[in-house]
Structure 1
Amino acid sequence: MTSATPGPDLTDPAPDVAKLDLTGSVADLTRALCDIPSVSGDEQAIADAVEAALREVAHLEVIRDGNCVVARTQLGRAERVVIAGHIDTVPIAGNLPTRTLDGVIHGRGTVDMKGGVAVALNLAAGVPEPTRDVTYVFYDCEEIEAVRNGLGRLSRERPELLQADFAVLGEPTSAVVEGGCQGTMRVEVTTTGTAAHSARSWMGSNAIHHAGAVLDVLNGYRARQIEVDGLVYREGLNAVGISGGIAGNVIPDRCSVLVNYRFAPDKSLAEAEAHLRELFGAWEVTVTDASPAARPGLNAPVAAHFVAAVGGTPGPKYGWTDVALFSGLGIPAVNFGPGNPSLAHKDDEHCPESDLTTCLDALRRYLTG
């Protein structure tokens, strides 16, 4: 028997600003956040709602920067931790509004990563005197190209807002600690030919046909599994797009295969690029987007203390997250949040309410213990 419950009531306290209850059920808060559409680049409505709710919390200093909202305690503690989460999602696929079935919340953003944002907002309002100072960061444009990432913008333009001894990203991890992250690089591999009328194809050279050799390289590629600081990372190299041709009666003289490389944290960006240029040395290779990997960093005392506080056995993070940004700033960071990461971006994205409460309770222990 399945039972469905209606979504939370979103009553506007002011025109166009949804009201969020930060102190009630973390499940209801997750649904309220998810039911505010916020596809990357369109986060103003949810940023407005988050800002309005946080400004009602007396013990927090709240700062708005574009569609990033920062809230922090200023208690003079010896240590400061950042708890961060992005408020954007990939495009909606008929999976909003949310619904709850048998204790599982279904809908876009439940996993990636408004469940983690809900946990952080509940903590921000509900833990007024943590044992370490906390900076909560809710940021935009994580799901698209790195140059637009709101956390990256803060690191460049307002670095003082990210100063900390440790950072926790509320990315989905099924409520266990995941260390480090894969790096990601996208390149266009371009084949060339000679244009001709398709009625006289023998007078040209078809660049799309030549792309078959690029696909052969990808089909024959054997991705590594590599241990880094005690965690095993799996790599991946895949075509994620292909384009070529200008008309239905023209033999194309150019074709580009878009390739995404997910690499383990034993490689730098330069080493990842060199690997791809070696693989596709017969063709023109253009890097279109890249973000570095991050080593697990679990041997840092602040990270080890966090793992001890929340419990569980750490694993590797498959995928890129902003732990890499914190790592680049010299701040140890881990991923810890509700939801199964294998469901991120899927049309049937869903998160158990139990994951939300597990993460909330664990982080509250860490902040108050």
Structure 2
Amino acid sequence: MELVERADVEAARVALAGVVRTTPVAPSRVLSGFAGGPVSLKCENLQRTGSFKIRGAYRRIERLGPEGRAPGVVAASAGNHAQGVALAARLLDTRATVFMPAGAPLPKLAATRGYGADVQLVDTFAETLEAAAAFAERTGAVLIHPFDHPDIVAGQGTVGLEILEQVPDVATIVVCTGGGGLISGIAAAVADRGVHVVGAQAAGLAAWPPSLAAGAPVTVTGATIADGIAVPRPGEVTFAHVEALVDEIVTVDEEALARGVLRSLEREKLLVEPAGAAAVAAIAEYPERWAAPVVAVVSGGNADPLMLVDLVRRGLVAAGRYASLRVRLPDRPGYLADVLRRVGAAGGNVVDVEHRRLMGSGRSLGAVDVALTLEARGHEHAAAILDDLAGAGYEVAPE
């Protein structure tokens, strides 16, 4: 298979002039500490439509020409590609139909419709591509694949060209990886520049490691909070690029992704969705693994506010700053007050208390279980609070 070359990416950049933003690169002191050298964030979460997807979608549709896009275009997406296709189609004066899973985040649904696309909902993400392909066959609309086309790869690769200009001495680029369009394009853009290209994939649905081991795309099953990179099988086009041009793929678990979202929001002042935080999570999970300067591509910022609340809480738990514990104490006045006093004296902040007097818990008569949710400064601090309570004679365990 013929690979996308740097010249193709440069041509895409010319076509995208005035359409996409040259997104900023921001230094990260926190991640630099993990990496042992300078780390910068390439903020594609600040791109039009909130992700890099507009780059590839516009290049693909623009390359069809007026006649080729006259029947309209169709796409399948959980959200970010949908928005990219919808806006690109509007800018190029053609109709867009997008098939999305019924469980897609409401802000992504609303944004896609807001850009002018006709959104059709199906039950699952797996069914969206089938429905889109059937629609294309029935109507003549052109299917705009989310990642598996050379024009998509070339468009996404313009991120890599910007990185080379913004961080000329970049040694490593860490990229979130789902279907592989973004990492394929970036790898093509920086080929022969001595840059180490790393893909970061959600461990809950990681198709790349087994695919690369097998020498061909492999389908996997699983689930992840990172819906933007929840792709069960790489494409043929992207597999060829990743196999030839990408140096390594690593995986990060759900807790690491949640911590990445929290870290981006709290320390970097960036609103990032779980998929967009995969590179941030990878740098923290693999400290000092890659040569610096490192650039982490923050690929998307379309976070569902309702999910964000849960993600922040999950990130706090994963960081040891939000802890739940169960304390068994005599069911007599004064003992709960003593527990709360001890937690406060140890520097913890109790945010929720639940008395559990229901029978059948295995506790002895005259005892009560109390569930506490508290804020701590980290895992060691939370453990110290538990140790203090245990030292006072209370039966205590994390929940």
Same fold (TM over 0.5): no
Which structure: greater strand fraction? 1
Return the index of the structure with the highest Cα Rg: 2
Which structure: greater helix fraction? 2
Question: What TM-score comes out, normalization by structure 1 length?
Answer: 0.31
